[in-house]
Structures are given as C-alpha cells and as structure tokens.
C-alpha cells in the first residue's frame, strides 16, 4: 500500500516537467519501473497470504488486474493536477512494467520449480 501511495503523491506533483527536465521517453521508463515494483509488491502480498487460497493461486492475475486498474485510476487522477495531463501512453508504459514483472517472475518460478524436481546425481 505504501508504494501505491508513493505513486499517488508522485502523480500529484504539479508542473513536474518544470522540476524534472528529462529526455523524451525517460518518463515512460520511470512509469514502467514504478509499476514493475508495484506489481512485484502486490504479487508478493497476494501470494504470501494464507486466508484466501484462490487469491494465492491466482496471484499473477490478481496483481495484473490490480496494477492495470491502478494505472488507469492514476492517469485519471493526474488529469486534475495543474500542469499535468492524462496520457494513454503512460498507461501503456505502466502495463509494460507490469507485464515485464509477470514474464520475468513466471520464468524464474518455472525455472526454479524445474531445478527442484530434477533428481540429484
């Protein structure tokens, strides 16, 4: 939850382009990185809870849905911040970060499972 709040407050900074002067496209990398981390944290929260097995078993899907919805809500929120705008490509970058986490984590988990299942020689 703290990371979601951090993203919210970063989005609430008015006229951020006057504070951070970056090259074109750097903001999309920042979006992807922020949402990569958010997805990792949400996935961990879903996967490591014991109350609802269905949430644990669908942790990747749940993290994906949560982060995508949060990305759209964040862009909507930003449309009300002076000097900021709502940008569809920011949402695309957010989703890119989410998907990057899911792909890397899925491959890592699959590789880790295969190593555990191999008989030792």
Residue 97 to residue 94: CA distance in whole angstroms: 5
Q: Return the pLDDT at 15.
A: 74
Residue 62's SS3 state is helix
Note the pLDDT tens digit of each residue in 19-52.
556 676 788 899 999 999 999 999 999 999 989 9
Note the pLDDT tens digit of each residue in 59-104.
999 999 999 999 999 999 998 988 888 889 999 999 999 999 999 9
Q: Quote the pTM value.
A: 0.83
- For residue 71, what are its two tokens? 């990305």
Name which residue leads in pLDDT, 111 or 3. 3
* Contacting residues for 17 by C-beta, under 8 A, at least 6 apart: 83
DSSP assignment string, 26-52 = HHHHHHHHHHHHHHHHHHHHHHT-SS-
* Contacting residues for 31 by C-beta, under 8 A, at least 6 apart: 90, 93, 94, 96, 97
């Amino acid at each position: 939850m703290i990371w979601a709040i951090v993203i919210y407050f970063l989005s609430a900074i008015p006229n951020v382009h006057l504070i951070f002067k970056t090259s074109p496209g750097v903001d999309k990398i920042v979006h992807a990185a922020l949402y990569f981390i958010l997805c990792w944290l949400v996935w961990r929260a879903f996967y490591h809870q014991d109350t609802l097995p269905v949430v644990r078993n669908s942790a990747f899907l749940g993290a994906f849905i949560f982060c995508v919805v949060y990305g759209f809500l964040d862009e909507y929120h930003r449309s009300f911040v002076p000097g900021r705008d709502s940008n569809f490509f920011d949402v695309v970058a957010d989703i890119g970060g989410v998907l990057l986490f899911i792909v890397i984590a899925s491959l890592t988990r699959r590789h880790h499972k295969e190593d555990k299942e191999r008989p030792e020689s």
